Amino acid sequence: MRDTFYANRGVLDDKTCDAIREANVVVVGLGGLGGHLANALVRMGVRKLTLIDPDTYVQSNLNRQLFSGKDTIGKRKVDVVEQALKAIMDDLEIVTYAERVEAVDDAVFHQADVVFDGVDDPRVKRALERRAGETNTLMVHGAIGGWYGQVAVLKPPSTLLASLYEDKEGGLERDLRCPTFTLGVISYWMVAAWAKHVLKHPSAKVNQLVMIDLLNDACEIMVEGTSADG
Amino acid sequence: MVKVKFFALLRSKHNVKELSVKPGTIEEVMNQILEAYPHIPRHELEQAVMFVNGKKTMHLSRQGEKVNEGDTVVLTHFVGGG
């Protein structure tokens, strides 16, 4: 009988599947990006997940956040997502923090193999990059606004987000908001970027910023990266 | 000359894709863009980010910084939602 993750082996070798299964993965933010990230990571074979988000679901999340629904309004996101993930796979080790990432102990980062950035505030994203640097943790960044998104795998210490965001409080998302289709594309792009990194694929780059324009069917490397081993 | 490529909102909203301008300060480059495309509001350009030769990030609000002969730059706006 074929195992659950047999289909992933079309692109991932056994060694990579083992590394994904053993990886300690942190998802910061369980909103538009984070819900899709958590879902995709579990379906990729991740078993050890730490979920961080202080919020509860509200009505206005329904247009875009994967695990929001009329029955989850008012419930803590970490609890809903944990339950939903365990409904997919039953051998998960999930730790949750229903608090802001700033309040979470550094040990969580030190123990992580990778931190996924699902937060929705450039200031927090910048702080997350700095903290990933201080704790020597790989970070997968993603962000969106309207039809547009960006992805980067950040090898510490990185200043890519510090240079990009500087002291800005928001970008195009303030006017164009965050539609579900762009969130879906970017979150799954983030997971693909990490999978390439774990696979040690020659195309895997770190500290490279890719921007995606769904309206014009365009993709551009804005900041060229280096090979993951370089 | 400097090759300026427009990306994302600037391309979508103002129907501009590419332009060649003379090297100079960001302010001088911006003025050439606005001369060629007067329908682009100045404040939208000032909020943009410029990626130079896939290496360097420059904010257009810093008008004194220079773009050099032979550079290829991409002009866009960043996103921060999630």
How many Å apart are CA A16 and CA A27, to the nearest integer? 20
Q: Is the pLDDT of residue A109 over 70?
A: yes
CA A214 vs. chain centroid, Å, equals: 19
Reported ipTM: the value is 0.96
Residues 6+ apart with CB under 8 A from A37: A27, A116, A118, A187, A190, A191
How many Å apart are CA A44 and CA A38, to the nearest integer? 10
Distances (CA, A) of A43 to A6, A15, B20, B41: 11, 17, 47, 45
How many Å apart are CA B5 and CA B15, to the nearest integer? 12
Q: How far is A1 from chain B (nearest CA, A)?
A: 39
Q: How many residues does chain B have?
A: 82
Q: Give the mean model confidence (pLDDT) for residues A182-201.
A: 97
Phi, psi of A213 (to 5 degrees): -120, 100
Domain-located, residue A67: yes
Q: What percent of chain A has pLDDT over 70?
A: 99
- DSSP lists the bridge partners of residue A152 as A141
Query: CATH number for the domain including A33?
Result: 3.40.50.720
Domain-located, residue B81: no
Burial A190-215 (b: 16+ CB within 10 A, else e): bbebbbbbbbeeeebbbbbbbbbbbe
CB A139 within 8 A of CB A115: yes
Q: How far is B31 from chain A (nearest CA, A)?
A: 23
Domain that holds residue A18: 6-227
CB A168 within 8 A of CB B49: no
Q: Give the mean model confidence (pLDDT) for residues A201-223.
A: 97
Domain-located, residue B82: no
Under an 8 A CB cutoff, do B80 and A32 touch? no
Mean pLDDT score of chain A? 96
From chain A, the residues in CB contact with B49 under 8 A are: 164
Q: Give the mean model confidence (pLDDT) for residues A77-91.
A: 96
Domain that holds residue B56: 2-76
Domain-located, residue A1: no
pLDDT for A1 equals 58
pLDDT for A3 equals 80
How many Å apart are CA A195 and CA A40, to the nearest integer? 11
Give the pLDDT confidence of B29-74 residue by residue, as tens digits: 999 999 999 999 999 999 999 999 999 999 998 889 999 999 999 9
pLDDT for A230 equals 61
Give the count of domains, chain A: 1
Query: CATH number for the domain including B12?
Result: 3.10.20.30
How many Å apart are CA A29 and CA A55, to the nearest integer? 9
CB A41 within 8 A of CB A115: no
Q: Which chain A residue lies closest to B5 (C-alpha atoms)? A: A220
Under an 8 A CB cutoff, do A172 and B7 touch? no
